[in-house]
Amino acid sequence: TREEMNRLVEEIWLDTKTTIVFITHSIEEAIFLSDRVVVLSARPGRVAKEYCVPFARPRSLEIMATKEVFDLTNRIKMDIVGERTRPKTPERPSAEIVRIRP
């Protein structure tokens, strides 16, 4: 299961103490596995926001049911929604497409 895989990844990290870049679409999974969660913007993909995950290691699955994890998850979700609804400003002017009918 995903939970078993997450525990295995955490065990590997605890044993090796090497940096792991983990890409996921699951905010809960990111919080469980990470010390930092980085949210990317839409195209072009840039760092939109970074969050510190303040929970001690090793983490248990029980921590995922706490109010603190719930609050952090919701804060990240709300920031992602805000990022999606923010007007896009092009880095350079875009060309206008004009259709000419014969």
Coil, strand or helix at 93: coil
The model's pTM is 0.72
| Cis check: omega of the bond before 44, within 30 degrees of 0 | yes
pLDDT at 91: 54
Token reading at 76: 């990240």
Dump pLDDT digits (tens) for 11-61.
888 899 888 888 899 999 999 999 999 998 888 888 989 999 999 988 888
Dump pLDDT digits (tens) for 47-89.
989 999 999 988 888 999 999 999 999 999 998 887 656 555 5
Bridge partner list, 51? 37
pLDDT at 19: 87
Coil, strand or helix at 89: coil
Please report, for residues 21, 24, 41, the alpha-carbon distance to residue 82 in angstroms, rounded to integers and kept in the order given: 25, 19, 11
Domain ranges of the chain: 2-85
